[in-house]
Amino acid sequence: MPQLRKDPIIGRWIIISTERAKRPKDFVVSHKDAGPTPCPFCEGNENMTPPEIFAFRKDGTGKDKPGWQIRVVPSKHLVLRIGRDLGRKAVGIYDVMNSIGAHEIIIESPKHVTHFSDLEQDNINLVIKAYINRIMDLKKDENFKYVMLFKNYGRAAGASSITHTHSQLIATPVNPKRVKEELNGSRLYFEYKERCIYCDIIRQELDNRQRIVAEVDGFVAFCPFASRFPFETWILPLAHSCDFENLKEEQIPALSKILKEVFLRLRKVLDDPPYNYVLHTAPFRRAKAKAGYWKTITEDYHWHIEIMPRLTGIAGFEWGTGFYINPTPPEEAAKYLREAKI
């Protein structure tokens, strides 16, 4: 059984996946690219993945058969699994719990498309709808506190050898530390100013315009003022909203459009860079939340997407210190991205 272990000093949780334990030799092999194999995410190869959890598919087509547009399957490399017993306990001064959770793959196209930005607008709309569907579904499980939705593209960003465009989600029984930090930071600001810090940031960015990358009906993309990485780009809805899954049907085409545009711009300017893409949304709210708390939390957090290109030669001691050195001012990065011909 994989374990969740808590760092006793900093308080972050680590997933130790004891079942698919990697030995030293596995890492040596993983330096090389895998050879060509039939793609398990292509239409027709449904038998190469675990049975599907969800799909958008043509009427009359069957589960785990061709005819789908978006298909969601459990990860073959499960780091967390569905279960009842969290079993949180102490091991001397340490804390552990069972690695209960879900790890799913959202296959974004039946065709072998490798770039998210090559997907048609309608297709991206369905990807977003699948995100919402999965989050809504996992929210029902009382064991889960958070769903992290992300995309690793390129080996330097930690992607596997499967290049077929896909997103991943991990539902966790604890709130990730970064999420807590964001919530704490934005709550402090809200308590002081009675305004959402993200709303204030959006206002300043739209006013200043130096760091704007793209604007599409109700959404804005910009390089944040304190960007950790060169060409780091965030996408936010202009209208205040803390939960991604409350996105309205009529907002989907605009989000889909700005996503495609931002990825096209990054690909053009940086020559197809590896990247990580992470959805930051508020944790699930539960009935046990303190009185008054529920109301506040919808006002002080603002969901957004963070895209972090992973460019070689960057990111050294940052792991150890939380201190980042960014050699490209976000104002310049945004100018390149904004002015690229796509």
- The set of catalytic residues is 166
Number of residues that bind a second copy (CB under 8 A): 92
Residue 9 near a second copy by CB under 8 A: yes
Residue 306 near a second copy by CB under 8 A: yes
Residue 90 near a second copy by CB under 8 A: no
What φ, ψ does residue 68 adopt, rounded to 5°? -100, 160
What φ, ψ does residue 14 adopt, rounded to 5°? -120, 140
Give me the residues paired with residue 237 across strands: 219
The one among 158, 209, 293, 294 contacting a second copy by CB under 8 A: 158
The one among 182, 190, 222, 258 contacting a second copy by CB under 8 A: 182
98-137 positions binding a second copy, by CB under 8 A: none
What is the distance between the alpha carbons of residues 114 and 110, in angstroms, rounded to a whole number? 11
Residue 295 near a second copy by CB under 8 A: no
- Antiparallel, parallel or unpaired: β 89-91 and 94-98: antiparallel
Least distance CB 146 / a second copy (angstroms): 9
Residue 18 near a second copy by CB under 8 A: yes
Residue 288 near a second copy by CB under 8 A: no
- Residue 261 near residue 305, CB atoms below 8 Å: no
What is the distance between the alpha carbons of residues 73 and 229, in angstroms, rounded to a whole number? 32
Phi-psi region of 305 (alpha: psi -120 to 50; beta: other; left: phi over 0): beta
Residue 191 near a second copy by CB under 8 A: no
Least distance CB 303 / a second copy (angstroms): 13
User: Alpha-carbon dihedral of residues 188, 194, 197, 199, nearest 10 degrees?
Assistant: 160
- Name the amino acid, one letter, at 244: F
How far from each other are the two terminal CA atoms of the chain, in whole angstroms?
48
- Binding segment toward a second copy, per CB under 8 A, in 41-49, 121-129, 197-205, 285-293: 197-205
Residue 11 near a second copy by CB under 8 A: yes
19-38 positions binding a second copy, by CB under 8 A: 20-24, 27-28, 30-31
138-157 positions binding a second copy, by CB under 8 A: 148, 150, 152, 155, 157
Residue 5 near a second copy by CB under 8 A: yes
- Name the amino acid, one letter, at 338: R
The one among 69, 125, 163, 276 contacting a second copy by CB under 8 A: 276
Residue 335 corresponds to which tokens in the numbers above? 């100018």
Which C-beta is closer to a second copy: that of 56 or that of 150? 150
